[in-house]
Amino acid sequence: MVNVTRSQVVGGVLALLAAGAVLYFWPRQQLTVEESIRRQVVVMTRAAEAKDVGGVMEHVSERFRSNGQGGWSKKDVRGILTAQVLRGQWVRVFVTNLEVREVSPSEGEFQARFIFGRSQAEKVEHLAADSVLNAYLIEGAFEKEEDGEWRVVRARPESISPTDLL
């Protein structure tokens, strides 16, 4: 039988608390603005492919406004996105030529081509015949909001033809 004294228990608890404090206060590596925005684009793309419109929209600010195309609001974007990702059995989103520029520690601008591939095909054999591509060049900005999350605050989408992708 092991005898543990009260001072040994107190010492062990203090050691655990000290270790916890060191881990809690250890400096965390901050992502750059560019890395943060690139990660948000990947998260949003994956949500779109999963047909999770809400998952995409949680990364769009309530303050969102588009430049051009009639000045879309967040609600308008939800409707357009829903039309893009919910049509078809299969959805794939490709992001190409993603460029990010830091404006400040809490804002970054981006430009990328987003290609939406959709198909009604239920079998692989019919995929090529039943597929539709839509492509957009989108320029916009992400801002780090009060809750610490990066969200899209503005964008200017421009429809581009598949021939412009080559």
Sheet holding 131-144, edge to edge: 60-66, 150-160, 131-144, 107-119, 90-104
> Could you read off the pLDDT of 39-56 as tens digits, one per residue?
999 999 999 888 899 999
Domain boundaries, the chain: 31-164
> Could you read off the pLDDT of 105-155 as tens digits, one per residue?
999 999 999 888 777 766 666 656 777 778 889 999 999 999 999 999 999
The CA distance from 34 to 81, in Å, is 24
pTM: 0.74
Q: Do 59 and 40 meet the contact criterion of CB atoms below 8 Å apart?
A: yes
